[in-house]
Amino acid sequence: MSVIASRVQGTTARRRAGRFSVWVSYAILAAVALVVVFAGVLSPSSPTAQNLNDILLPMSGAHPLGTDDLGRDVLSRMLHGTRVSVLAAMLAVGIALVVGLPIGIAAGWGNRWLDVGIMRVVDAVMSFPAIVLAIGITATMGPNITNAMIAVGVVLAPAIIRLARAQTMTIRSETYIEAARSFGASGLRRMVLPHVLPNIIQPILVQVAVLMGFALIAEASLSFLQLGVQPPNASWGAVLARSYTFLDQAPMQIFIPGLAIAATVFACNIIGDEIQRLLDPKRK
């Protein structure tokens, strides 16, 4: 009995820890959303205002997160950078969804040759390392945040395509699809939109949440390499790059954007798991 009781207690503890991480993730994303909306109100100063008399100051009452090498308030740059980074990640995931979802459904619903043609292109794109391909596309189009996020969206699209294709191929063999066909239903409006799309949206939403985290990391990486946000504008990656340059003089400043990125990516992944749990039709 003691073994059974210990197992029950262990399961309960894991469930409580899981619920705690979910609520922490909700709090993180809510805080990020508030900063995105009210960055201009919360910011104590302009993110681009320079003061060469206050270079690389430590944390203080006047500058809660210190200043960078140009005397700019790091807190103001982080707040405005949150808006830029989050909106850029949303743009990238939106592009991936708009491009990948219809192509994936077409591959899973269409004939064999269409499926083979689409998937060979997808395999070719996925054969490249994601960040290297994004860097190449961004460098070709020109370094700015819009081009960088278009590149990231192109890189993320194959993940949506493969998932949408797999789910569509599973749905098309279901009994209710055959019944709909027997009543004469066919085409986009009568089959795909009412029957296929609602039944594949759950794993797509989970994938979108996970890709948001990847897009945040990709934006930070490209901005760190000066292929995304251009000076003097701020983003998490731009602040990270500036902090890394002066790591010896102000070592604490590099942790600020790093923690912001890590916490938000963690929250996106946890919320993705929570979406899967909530939308699972087999959940008790």
Which of 168, 173, 58, 47 is CA-nearest to residue 119? 168
| Average pLDDT for the chain | 86
* Distance (Å, whole) CA 208 – CA 269: 10
- This prediction's pTM: 0.87
- 44 contacts: CB under 8 Å, gap ≥ 6: 73, 75, 76
* Distance (Å, whole) CA 155 – CA 265: 18
Rounded mean pLDDT for each run of 10 residues along the chain, 284 residues in total: 48 65 94 94 90 88 89 93 95 95 88 89 90 89 92 94 90 70 60 73 90 94 91 91 86 90 94 84 55
The domain limits of the chain are: 15-40+67-261
* Distance (Å, whole) CA 39 – CA 260: 15
Encode pLDDT of 256-272 as tens digits: 999 999 999 999 999 99
Instruction: Produce one character per residue of 52-75: b if its CB has 16 or more CB atoms within 10 Å, e if not.
Output: eebbebebeeebebbbbbbbbbbb
Give yes or no for a contact between 256 and 239, defined as CB atoms under 8 angstroms apart: yes
Distances (CA, A) of 63 to 55, 56, 72, 270: 11, 10, 9, 32
In CATH, the number for domain 15-40+67-261 is 1.10.3720.10
Q: What is the pLDDT of residue 282?
A: 57
What are the helix (H) ranges across 128-235? 130-141, 145-171, 175-182, 187, 197-224
34, two tokens? 């508030």
Distances (CA, A) of 186 to 109, 175, 179, 181: 11, 15, 11, 6
